[in-house]
Structures are given as C-alpha cells and as structure tokens.
Structure 1
C-alpha cells in the first residue's frame, strides 16, 4: 500500500495533467485553485472595460501588463488566471503559458457574481503566500477597490498586512507600480443579494 504522501503526489500530478489537457468551451475560462479545477463563464463588458481602464493607466515603458495570464505559485496547487498581471518590463521573458509568481509585482481581480469568495478569500491567501507585493481587488457590485500590500505567511494562513479601501471615483494609489489610479470611469453592477 502506498503512503499518503505518494498518493497525494500522484493525485496532484493527475490534476495538473487534467488541467493542462482541459478543453475549455468558448466563452468560459478555467483556473486551478488549490488543487481544484474551477470553470466559469467569461466576463461581461463592465468587467472587461474596468480591466482595460486599469491597464491603460499603467505605463507600458516600465511595466508589462498581461490580461488573463496564468500564474504559477511555488508550493501551491494553484494556477490562477488573474484579470491583469503587472510585472516590471523584462522580469519574465520565458516562453510558455505560466508566469512565475516571483516575477509579478501586482495582480488585479475584478469581482464577478461567481468569483466573490475566490477573489476576496482564496486568491488573497494564494497571492500573499506567493509573495505578490500588490493585490488589487476591484468590486463593481460594491463600487469599491481594495488594495492589499505587504504579503506574509504561507499556505492557507497567508495574508496581506496592509489594506486600503477606496470607493469608485476616488484616486487609488498603487504602491510600487507608482500609479494614482483614476477610477471615475469604472462601471458598476447591481449589488449582489445574499443567497437565502
């Protein structure tokens, strides 16, 4: 009988193999989050416009800005696909679909109906554990931005030590990236109603 750690390693390889070979239907996207393959519908126009407004304000001469790029996290069974990946120009010139987390300066997620828990909880700890210096959560349902900095810890207990919330219309300072983000053009969506 195989030991539990050997079985876990085999299971992890199987999940990665299944994820690598997954055929995602048009209009959907898939992510690997803590060993679970998560598939969701593609984003709406409000979401995509917000991502574009953010990307347009980050200077391309200093920063590489990649939309929906898979990121690899060491010591994590996760390959999330953030809405926007920001890294210093030249930080990762390797081929392939995965950007290594240590090359990343900022990750941006725009909350959707199905991603609330993942963006605020699961990805927050994954990104902190990976040492991503800045995590920006943009929530069109609440019309607010949450800027998280100073990652600390490992695994499920990892988190950011510093958080600042700003409402849409306010300028949002993005540390390290050196941008005062104009949020006045961010669209909103009707507030989400809690499940009964």
Structure 2
C-alpha cells in the first residue's frame, strides 16, 4: 500500500464521486461523509438565509470552499458573500471572497463544527463563522481570525441563546433566532 500525503488526498478528492444523498468534505486531508441533514437543521438554514438581504448578499448553500495552504475543502451549510464578487462558475469558492460561513450543528458534527472547522475557517481568514447549535439552543459567532494552519483561531466569540437577537455586524443585520428549532432527545455537549 502506498502512503498518500495531503496533496495526493486533495487530488483524489477532486475525482471522488460520493453516493447520492451524501455530503462529502475534505478536512485537513481527511474525507468526511455525512448523511442528509435533519429537518430542524434545514429549517434553521432556511430561516437564516431568509433574514440576509438578497440585494446585497449572495447566500449560497452546499458550496465548496477553497482554503489557501490547506488540504481542506469544507462545505458550510451557508456561505455569505457580497453580491457581485464571486466567479461566474466553478466548484470552489475562494475563502478570501467570503464574508461569513454558517454551520448548523448536527448530532454527529459537534466536534468538527466547534473544532477543526473553526481552525480551518480561521486559517482561511473568513471574517465571521457562525455556529448554530440546536443541541444546546445557542449560537456562537466567531470573528477576528488569526494564525495559520492548525494554530489558526478566532479572537472574538459571542454566545447568544435561541430566542434573543444576534447582531451580525459584518452583514449589517440583527439575526432573529426565535424560530430556530432544537433536536429532541440528544445528549448535550460541553462546547460553549
């Protein structure tokens, strides 16, 4: 068996055809496959998308993000970019064009959303990363990315419970979280 480095895994990932209905991401050289999301998850994404003004922002779902100097191609639940800055076509959206990414935590994505993706998005210098967590009914807004690679992180963190409004300064809006649903019967975790 031949060892494959991260660059080789990136090339393999470009040609990989996942089974229908499966979401696939490349996170620091590791291919991660997930089943289709829960209705609670999908409704939260729709609710967020509906609150972001379409005239100024493109709100893109299931878009692969290209992170410079990373063997990563995450697929956030929602990508927000200023209207008119994205290329006309292509599979990968350069991270430097992105204003905000949104991940809605699923029952199996807790560690990825709060851990490796936090570091990957910070390494990509994405100004705002919003984690919406229907397990513990709160949002975590991360801003001010700093650092490179595995050491990258966000300096600022704001936690908002579901039901309160969350200022998204980078978008110039207040996000209403009152309609966000929660998962039933899922054990809480210890992330913020």
Q: Fold conserved (TM > 0.5)?
A: yes
Aligned to 1:81: 75
User: Matches of residues 139-154 of structure 1 in structure 2 within 5 Å?
Assistant: 139-154=133-148
Aligned to 2:101: 107
Structure 1, unmatched stretches of 5+, are 1-6
Count of residue pairs brought into register by the alignment: 188
Contact 2:7 2:71 in 1 (8 A): no
Q: Does 1:31 align with 2:21?
A: no
Output one character per residue of 1:1-27: Cα deviation in whole Å (capped at 9) or x when no partner. xxxxxx99x733431222112121122
- Relative distance call for 1:194 and 1:57 in structure 2 (3 A) is closer
Q: Give me the CA root mean square deviation.
A: 1.7
Shift of 1:138: 0.2
Shift of 1:171: 0.2
Q: Does 1:188 align with 2:188?
A: no
Aligned to 2:171: 177
> Residue 37 of structure 2 is aligned with which of 40, 43, 65?
43
**What secondary structure sits across from 1:105 in the alignment?**
strand
122-131 vs 22-31, which deviates more? 22-31
**What secondary structure sits across from 2:120 in the alignment?**
helix
- Relative distance call for 1:139 and 1:31 in structure 2 (3 A) is same
Aligned to 1:130: 124
Normalised by the length of structure 1, the TM-score is 0.91
Q: After TM superposition, what 4+ stretches of structure 1 lie above 3 angstroms from structure 2?
A: none
Contact 2:61 2:77 in 1 (8 A): yes
Shift of 1:37: 0.6
Structure 2, unmatched stretches of 5+, are none
Distance 2:13 2:81 in 1: 25
Output one character per residue of 1:90-136: Cα deviation in whole Å (capped at 9) or x when no partner. 11124211000000000000000111011001000111111100100
